[in-house]
């Protein structure tokens, strides 16, 4: 099979029919009938699954992977890539903010650059000022704390070769951040500037963005642990010098230190530092706890398709 198009479904009911029509047309313009479209239902609370399953009766190219519950966008994408069989795989969102028609210029650029990945990057991040600010802060902090050169304003849409997808699927961590995995998998990757539309409200609140940043950083870097060590060392050295100062003042001026306000403030300050440092270590311990259990990061309930070549029950 020459091409697989992979997308996830979550509150996607209004877009599925149009996405399927446009993705099918884009695929046929390049590879004829030698393609498949894989839609992964990530526990969507609306009728996304019902609409997608109805389409499978009309189109043998369509495969609907129904997960047993909501596992999260990144894990659903990895599950869809695991089901893809094409020599080339287009990963894209199904809400039409990213255009299925990007397939053709991505394909052309891949051939011209002899690259394994062509991914989309927004020239300017969509959304209001707050969304743009938080997006910029995320990418800068991620690069600073992990050392991974993830581009600003990267989008989901990317065309990948079979060997790149196979290498990407070798990553089997349970607490995954797919954006970092895209980069560290390597191979030759090139970008293409795209304009992302605003057809649906974002499901990423500020709290989810902060949680996403913490998960991304702790998945790819031990720098927060190193920072806690050096912070503790600096505090200890500073305290030692201050103690020596007080001792020298006592013997030189014969005046003991006084005042309780500074003592209470210091206790609060250092107690907060200790608790935060323990919290950082706790995050890493929690990740170890999650990884060593080796639980599957998604569970398939059923695969819906009218294509007899595919297994429909897991």
Q: What is the C-alpha R_g of the chain?
A: 25
pTM of the model: 0.76
Which residue in the block uniquely carries the two structure tokens 């009938």?
Answer: 33
- For every residue of 183-195, DSSP letters joined together read HHT-S-EEEEEE-
Q: Tell me what pLDDT residue 163 has.
A: 96
Return the pLDDT at 14.
Answer: 94
Give the pLDDT of the chain (314 residues) as one tens digit per residue.
899 999 999 999 999 999 999 999 999 999 999 999 999 999 999 999 999 999 999 999 999 999 999 998 889 999 999 999 999 999 999 999 999 999 999 999 999 999 999 999 987 766 566 666 766 676 677 777 677 777 778 899 999 999 999 999 998 887 777 888 888 898 999 999 998 887 655 555 566 667 766 766 766 667 777 777 777 777 777 777 776 776 777 677 666 555 655 676 677 677 777 877 787 777 778 777 767 777 788 889 999 998 767 654 44
Six-digit token pair at 55?
A: 């389409």
Strand (E) or helix (H) holding 164: helix 162-168
Q: Tell me what pLDDT residue 46 has.
A: 93
For the chain, helix, strand, coil in percent to 5 are 50, 15, 35
Check if the beta carbon of residue 256 is closer than 8 Å to that of residue 248: no
Tokens coding 232: 């503790």
**What is residue 95's DSSP assignment?**
S
191-215 CB burial, b ≥16 within 10 A, e <16 = bbebebeeeeeeeeeeeebeebbeb
């Amino acid at each position: 099979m020459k091409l697989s198009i992979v997308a996830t479904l979550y509150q996607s009911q209004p877009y599925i029919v149009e996405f399927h029509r446009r993705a099918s047309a884009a695929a046929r313009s390049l590879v004829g009938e030698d393609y498949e479209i894989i839609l992964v239902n990530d526990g969507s609370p609306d009728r996304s699954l019902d609409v997608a399953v109805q389409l499978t009766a009309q189109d043998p190219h369509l495969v609907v992977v129904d997960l047993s519950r909501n596992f999260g966008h990144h894990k659903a994408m990895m599950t869809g890539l695991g089901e893809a069989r094409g020599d080339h795989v287009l990963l894209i969102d199904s809400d039409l903010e990213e255009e299925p028609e990007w397939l053709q210029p991505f394909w052309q650029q891949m051939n011209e650059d002899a690259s394994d990945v062509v991914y989309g990057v927004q020239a300017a991040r969509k959304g209001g000022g707050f969304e743009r600010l938080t997006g910029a802060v995320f990418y800068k902090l991620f690069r600073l704390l992990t050392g991974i050169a993830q581009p600003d304003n990267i989008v989901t849409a990317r065309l990948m070769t079979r060997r790149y997808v196979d290498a990407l699927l070798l990553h089997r961590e349970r607490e995954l951040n797919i954006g970092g995995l895209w980069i560290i998998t390597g191979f030759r990757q090139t970008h293409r500037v795209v304009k992302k539309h605003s057809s649906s409200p974002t499901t990423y609140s500020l709290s989810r963005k902060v949680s996403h940043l913490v998960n991304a950083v702790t998945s790819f870097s031990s720098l927060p642990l190193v920072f806690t060590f050096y912070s503790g060392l600096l505090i200890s050295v500073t305290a030692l010098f201050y103690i020596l100062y007080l001792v020298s003042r006592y013997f030189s001026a014969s005046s003991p230190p006084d005042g309780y306000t500074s003592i209470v403030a210091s206790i609060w300050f250092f107690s907060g530092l200790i608790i935060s440092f323990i919290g950082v270590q706790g995050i890493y311990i929690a990740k170890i706890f999650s990884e060593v259990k080796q639980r599957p990061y998604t569970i398939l309930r059923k695969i819906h398709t009218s294509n007899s070549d595919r297994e429909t029950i897991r």
